[in-house]
Amino acid sequence: ERARLARLRHTPAVTMDGERIELHANIELPTDAEAAVVAGATGVGLFRSEFLFMNRDGELPSEDEQFEAYKAAVEAMRGMPVTIRTVDIGADKPLDRMSANELRHEHVLNPAMGLRAIRWSLAEPSMFRQQLRAIYRASAFGKIRLLIPMVAHLAEVRQILESIKRVQQQLNDAGHAYTKVELGVMIEIPAAAVMLPLLLKHVDFVSIGTNDLIQYTLAIDRADEAVAHLYDPWHPAVLQLIASSIAQARAAGKSVSVCGEMAGDPAFTDLLLSMGLRSFSMHPAQIPSVKQRILRADSAKLAGALPAILASEDPQETARLALSTGGQAA
Ligand code: PEP
Ligand code: MG
């Protein structure tokens, strides 16, 4: 079985009816890029840059250190796209105490709803621009896409675009090379999914973060064991937000991917295909089993079954339908 999966590496991910699917990797450090290539990833869909900022003794990475890390990742991917997400610090991914003290951000009661991700970056504008400069400088060495976590307000998008403009001016003045970098936002707060048409006017692509989208849609702390049984990816509200986000992005002609755990779980592959998803990003180890499901899927047949799946009233029935809609060849 292991050998069979290894042979899959060079097989393109194409459905039985000829739909080409991108299988990208989620990475935490540039050294993970090698595993992504070995697993057959066609790009990095999510580089969680906060891991460069965590587990450090107080000092956060300089612009040059970040630049070297992003450059190492794009070079390791040999021309394939690398989607770098700006820091998603806070909540389940805290800075160590020394770094946090340095930035004077204190522990709060509800960190998942507090100063995390893009909120943190916009509260630390010089650090945000430093990260943007490092990312833009690395764009001279490969294909980079810029992804912003936890966006919920159009005002945030405007501030991001202003920061990018300012950073480009700084790089021009300093004589640093860079190329065009596509801008994307994570869809992981229900507000972003609900107002997606507005966001789509300002960005090049979106990536659906199902881990947080489930947490915020159902008001279930993704790290709290006491309510883990209520953290349900099959919940109809969750599926509707994912389905409508994919449909709206496609209708607007913008690329859309899913980079939460659902993308790497073969139990959801058919369902996501039925919603029109053509780009998945996951832990490299999940790529072979998701690819196996794709190779046996009939995307047109799956799409026809979607309305009945979404209309189902019971999450267990939804799961049963999604796994047996006949999209799989015998
Ligand atoms: C997500 O929320 O689904 C996601 C991909 O981001 P993270 O797990 O890093 O919060
Ligand atoms: Mg998230």
Tokens of 328: 């799989």
Tell me which residue of 79, 83, 74, 69 sits closest to 145, measured CA to CA: 83
111: number of Cβ within 10 Å: 14
Q: Could you tell me what percent of the chain has a pLDDT over 90?
A: 85
Q: How many CA atoms lie within 13 A of 17 on its CB side?
A: 11
- The ipTM, to two decimals, is 0.99
> 88 CB under 6 A from ligand 1?
yes
β 22-27/279-282 pair status = parallel
Per-residue pLDDT tens, the chain, 330 aa: give them: 777 767 889 999 999 999 999 999 999 999 999 999 999 999 999 999 999 999 887 789 999 999 999 999 999 999 999 999 999 987 777 777 556 555 555 567 888 999 999 999 999 999 999 999 999 999 999 999 999 999 999 999 999 999 999 999 999 999 999 999 999 999 999 999 999 999 999 999 999 999 999 999 999 999 899 999 999 999 999 999 999 999 999 999 999 999 999 999 999 999 999 999 999 999 999 999 999 999 999 999 999 999 999 999 999 999 999 988 755 554
CA angle at residue 36 from 35 to 39, to 5 degrees? Answer: 85
Ligand 1, atom nearest to 208 Cα:
3
Q: Which of 315-324 are b and which e, b meaning 16 or more Cβ less than 10 Å from the residue's Cβ?
A: eeebbebbbe
Ligand 1, atom nearest to 26 Cα:
5
Q: Which of 257-276 are b and which e, b meaning 16 or more Cβ less than 10 Å from the residue's Cβ?
A: bbbbbbbbbeebbbbbbbbb
> 264 CB under 6 A from ligand 1?
no
Instruction: Collapse the DSSP code of 240 into the 3-class scheme (helix H, G, I; strand E, B; otherwise coil) and give the result.
Output: helix
Residue with the smallest CA separation from ligand 1 atom 6 is 209
Q: For residue 20, report the phi and psi dihedrals to the nearest 5 degrees.
A: -80, 125
Ligand in nearest proximity to the CA of 223: 1
> 50 CB under 6 A from ligand 1?
no
Ligand in nearest proximity to the CA of 259: 1
Place of tokens 């159009």: 154
Q: Rounded distance, CA 148 to CA 47, Å?
A: 11
> 32 CB under 6 A from ligand 1?
no
Residue-wise pLDDT for 158-204, tens only, equals 999 999 999 999 999 999 999 999 999 999 999 999 999 999 999 99
Residue ranges with strand state E in 12-127: 22-27, 44-48, 82-85
Q: Rounded distance, CA 191 to CA 291, Å?
A: 31
Among 87, 88, 221, name the best residue to mutate to test ligand 1's pocket (greatest count of ligand atoms within 8 A of Cβ).
88
Q: From residue 7, give the alpha-carbon distance in Å to each of 114, 166, 277.
A: 45, 47, 25
Residue 225 Cα to ligand 2 midpoint, Å, equals 18
Residue 316 Cα to ligand 1 midpoint, Å, equals 24
What pTM does this model have? 0.95
Tell me which residue of 261, 262, 330 sits closest to 298, measured CA to CA: 330
Beta bridge partners of 46: 26
Tell me which residue of 269, 284, 327 sits closest to 21, measured CA to CA: 269
Tell me which residue of 91, 82, 151 sits closest to 122, measured CA to CA: 151
Beta bridge partners of 22: 279
Q: Give yes or no for a contact between 288 and 9, defined as CB atoms under 8 angstroms apart.
A: yes
CA angle at residue 84 from 283 to 173, to 5 degrees? Answer: 165
Tokens of 312: 């189902």
Instruction: Collapse the DSSP code of 20 into the 3-class scheme (helix H, G, I; strand E, B; otherwise coil) and give the result.
Output: strand
Ligand in nearest proximity to the CA of 27: 1
Q: Which residues line ion ligand 2, judged by CB < 5 Å? A: 188, 209, 212
Residue 329 Cα to ligand 1 midpoint, Å, equals 32
Residue ranges with strand state E in 6-54: 22-27, 44-48
